[in-house]
């Protein structure tokens, strides 16, 4: 039964109110989302996902670690009660013998303005750390830091069809060598495979509706909350996304299903909804998970764009890749290019990948442009539906092979709080910081690669963006102006 496998894709740690009396130990909103199955065997399940959580941004959290186990293997090293360690004072960092059968070990160096993924575990070199594609830290308005880890890869020691409860510990150290745990959030529980949740948002009737299915032989009680994906980024962020329905109880009979439905405020039309399910009975009691209900998109949005990238792969070719999350009556995509003459020109047309141009699944497209331009080239995609209406993607900038110099920021000034940054070398690894005119850090990224970066949600004002290439130490600084609407 594939519903178990699909539920693994929605794996999530959620602890909305994990608080400590010591300020440095305040951790909240630990969430895993955007998960997908990489491979599976009869006894294992390899998955890849993104992790986000908020933590106090101070020197007490120089190093941050996250470990996870199946519930039956949880060693309870920190003697956890209600999410806190009952051991007084600082605690020796757990070693391999203490961790036991953990399937996830994440280590982060947070001692500075940028976040770095550790390549080895300081307390015990024999502990293998989990692979992570990218780690970033953004300082929030309340002084805390939002940590985002993308592309975390783990191997679960069970088949993908097995219902499981996972227990995790998150701890931080203020010591220079991370040999002691000074801040502990423990016993964080999540479930997978017990419940399957599917649904959608109807933008015409302004309602969401779905079904919760019990995949076990025992009745399950719980409650759900509904949040609107305000910025459309597909990442559930309780501090940003709007709560539109508070705790609503449900009971699902053994091997049964129950319907859920509710109203969507008019202000949230065309927005996706996050359905946050928390179980209150059974083996997974107290565990939560996030489910995304997509909106059909009313009005002039026949296609929901996903990722769009444009990268020079050699001196004569530029590779464009894009995704769609939803297609309604889509004819296809006109590839448009702007060079030195400052005029947009269509260079190709890619038809929709599905008959009739209708799909509710993610679709991927690619196009290679013969481009030996030594200067800069801008690309955009004009999506055209069957009625002739059009929707434009973001604009991507690509440099020629011989172009050297500072970074390029566009549009600048910006009227909507968003700018794009283009770099001369897509292979370089960079640390990026955005500060306001008082020198306060408002956004940070570390270890980024690629040709472009999009910066969003900047309030009106003037900012400085500083880009440091790790290999050369070269720095570039640009002034960004965000105009009032």
Whole-number pLDDT of residue 249: 96
Q: Which has more confidence, 391 or 218?
A: 218
Yes or no: say if 167 and 101 are a contact pair by the CB < 8 Å rule.
Answer: no
Give start and end residues of each alpha helix (H) in 104-220.
Answer: none
> 358, 303 in Cβ contact below 8 A?
no
Q: Which residues pair with 135 in a beta bridge?
A: 149
pLDDT of residue 122: 95
Greatest mean pLDDT range, 195-199, 360-364, 368-372: 368-372
Helix (H) or strand (E) holding 276: strand 273-279
Q: If you average pLDDT over residues 17-34, what whole number do you get?
A: 58
Pairing of strands 288-295, 195-202: parallel
Only one residue has tokens 């015990």, namely 124
Higher pLDDT, 107 or 361: 107
- CA dist 464 and 235 (Å) reads 26
Q: Are 280 and 288 in contact (CB under 8 A)?
A: no
Nearest-angstrom CA–CA distance, 129 and 375:
42
Predicted model pTM: 0.54
Is residue 17 very low, low, confident or very high in pLDDT (cuts 50, 70, 90)? very low
Reported as a pLDDT band with limits 50, 70 and 90, residue 1 is very low
**Model confidence over 382-400: pLDDT tens digits?**
888 876 777 778 788 887 7
Residue 405, SS3 per DSSP: coil
Residue with tokens 């929707």: 391
Cα separation, 485 vs 8, whole angstroms: 42
| CA pair distance 226, 243, nearest whole angstrom | 6
Q: Which range in 88-102, 126-140, 342-356 is most confidently predicted, on average pLDDT?
A: 88-102
Percent of the chain with pLDDT over 90: 29
How far from chain centre, in Å, is Cα 156?
20
Read off the pLDDT band of 301 (50, 70, 90): low
Phi, psi dihedrals of residue 483, rounded to the nearest 5°: -85, 160
Q: Is residue 4 pLDDT above 50, yes or no? A: no
- What span, in angstroms and rounded, lies between the C-alpha atoms of 156 and 150? 18
pLDDT given for residue 406 in this prediction: 63
pLDDT of 437 above 50: yes
- How is residue 263 written in tokens? 């109203």
What average pLDDT does the segment 195-202 reach?
A: 86
| CA atoms of 77 and 79, how far apart (whole Å) | 6
Confidence of residue 302 (pLDDT cuts 50, 70, 90): low
In terms of pLDDT, which residue wins out, 442 or 6?
442
Choice between 459 and 29, residue whose per-residue pLDDT is larger:
459
Mean pLDDT for all residues in the chain:
83
Mean pLDDT of 358-372: 89
Mean pLDDT across 66-79: 94
424 or 97, higher pLDDT: 97
Question: Could you tell me which of 266, 213, 210 has the C-alpha nearest to residue 242?
Answer: 266
Residues of the chain with pLDDT > 70, as a percent, come to 90
Residue among 331, 334, 335, 333 at smallest CA distance from 355: 331
pLDDT of 276 higher than 60: yes
Q: Are 9 and 48 in contact (CB under 8 A)?
A: no
Average pLDDT over residues 98-123: 92
Mean per-residue pLDDT for 134-146? Answer: 81
What pairs with residue 311 in β-bridges?
A: 319
Q: Closest by alpha carbon to 423, among 383, 465, 460, 462?
A: 465
Residue 404 has pLDDT above 70, yes or no: no
Confidence of residue 299 (pLDDT cuts 50, 70, 90): low
pLDDT reported for residue 10: 37
Distance CA 391, CA 92 (A): 56
Q: The dihedral of CA 349, 353, 356, 361: what is its sign? A: negative
What band does 11 get if pLDDT is binned at 50, 70 and 90? very low
CA-CA distance, 74 to 283, in Å (whole number)? Answer: 14
Q: Which of 5-9, 114-118, 283-287, 336-340 has the highest mean pLDDT?
A: 114-118
For residue 28, give every residue at least 6 positions away whose Cβ sits within 8 Å of its Cβ, in sequence order, or none.
15, 16, 17, 18, 19, 53, 54, 238
């Amino acid at each position: 039964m594939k519903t178990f496998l699909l539920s693994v894709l929605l794996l999530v740690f959620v602890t909305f109110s994990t608080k400590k009396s010591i300020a440095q130990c305040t951790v909240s909103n630990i969430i895993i989302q955007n998960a997908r199955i990489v491979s599976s065997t009869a006894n294992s399940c390899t998955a890849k996902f993104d992790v986000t959580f908020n933590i106090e941004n101070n020197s007490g959290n120089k190093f941050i670690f996250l470990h996870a186990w199946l519930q039956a293997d949880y060693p309870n090293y920190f003697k956890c009660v209600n999410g806190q360690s009952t051991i007084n004072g600082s605690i020796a960092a757990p070693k391999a013998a203490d961790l036991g059968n953990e399937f996830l070990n994440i280590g982060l160096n947070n001692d500075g303005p940028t976040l770095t993924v550790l390549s080895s575990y300081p307390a015990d070199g024999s502990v293998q750390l989990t692979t992570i594609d990218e780690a970033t830290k953004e300082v929030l308005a309340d002084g805390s830091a939002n940590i985002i880890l993308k592309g975390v890869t783990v191997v679960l020691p069970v088949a993908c069809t097995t219902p499981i409860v996972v227990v995790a510990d998150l701890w931080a150290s203020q010591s220079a060598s991370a040999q002691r745990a000074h801040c502990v959030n423990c016993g964080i529980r999540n479930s997978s495979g017990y419940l399957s949740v599917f649904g959608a948002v109807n933008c015409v009737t302004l309602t969401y509706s779905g079904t919760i299915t019990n995949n076990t032989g025992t009745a399950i009680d719980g409650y759900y909350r509904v949040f609107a994906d305000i910025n459309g980024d597909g990442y559930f962020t309780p501090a940003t996304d709007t709560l539109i329905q508070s705790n609503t109880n449900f009971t699902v009979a053994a091997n049964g299903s129950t319907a859920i439905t509710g109203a969507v405020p008019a202000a949230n039309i065309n927005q996706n909804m996050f359905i946050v399910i928390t179980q209150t009975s059974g083996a997974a009691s107290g565990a939560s998970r996030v489910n995304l209900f997509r909106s059909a998109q009313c009005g002039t949005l026949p296609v929901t764009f996903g990722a769009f990238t444009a990268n020079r792969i050699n001196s004569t070719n530029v590779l464009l890749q894009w995704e769609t999350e939803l297609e309604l009556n889509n004819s296809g995509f006109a590839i448009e290019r702007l060079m030195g003459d400052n005029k947009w020109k269509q260079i190709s047309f890619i038809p929709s990948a599905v008959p009739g141009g209708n799909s509710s699944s993610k679709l991927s497209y690619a196009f290679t442009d013969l481009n030996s331009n030594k200067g800069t080239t801008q690309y955009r995609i004009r999506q055209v539906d069957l009625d002739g209406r059009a929707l434009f993607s973001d604009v991507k900038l690509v440099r020629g092979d011989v172009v050297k110099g500072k970074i390029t920021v566009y549009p600048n000034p910006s009227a909507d709080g968003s700018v794009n940054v283009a770099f001369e070398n897509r292979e370089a690894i960079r640390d990026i910081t955005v500060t306001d005119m008082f020198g306060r850090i408002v956004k940070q990224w570390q270890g980024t690669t690629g040709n472009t970066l999009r910066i969003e949600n900047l309030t009106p004002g003037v900012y400085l963006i500083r880009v440091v290439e790790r290999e050369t130490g070269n720095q570039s600084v640009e002034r960004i102006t965000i105009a009032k609407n």
